[in-house]
Amino acid sequence: MENTLFVCQCEDINHQLIVSYDPDPIFDDTIFVHVHLTDTGFWTRIKYAFQYILGKRSRFGAGAWAEVLLDKRRTFELITTLQKHYEEMK
C-alpha cells in the first residue's frame, strides 16, 4: 500500500490526512483517505455529538475534528497524488 502524508500548513502533526492506494485486485478501485481524529475523551465526544445534532459547527479545530490547511504547493501535491492513483485504478 502506498501512503502519502499531508500535514497542515500550521505544522501541527495532529492536523493531517493520509491518502493511500492499494493495487491489490480486491482494492484496485479504491483510494483511501485517512483523516486524523483529534484525541479527546469519550464524554467530550458525546458532548460534541449532541452539539453537532443541535446544529453547532466546529471552527478552527474546536471539536473532535480538526481542519487540514494546505497551501498551493501541498494542494498541487494532493491533486497529483489523487490523479496518479486514479490513473492506476482498473
How far is it, in rounded angstroms, from Cα 49 to Cα 72?
Answer: 33
Average pLDDT over residues 50-72: 73
**Structural contact between residues 19 and 7, judged by C-beta atoms closer than 8 angstroms:** no
**pLDDT score at 64:** 57
Q: What share of the chain is helix, strand, coil (3-state, %, to 5)?
A: 30, 20, 45
Can you tell me which residue has the cell 497529483? 80
Q: What is the pTM of this model?
A: 0.67
Q: Is the pLDDT of residue 61 over 60?
A: no
- Read off the pLDDT of residues 2-57 as tens digits, 9 standing for 90 and up: 899 998 888 887 788 999 998 888 887 899 998 876 677 889 888 878 887 887 76
The larger pLDDT score, comparing residue 64 to residue 80, is at: 80
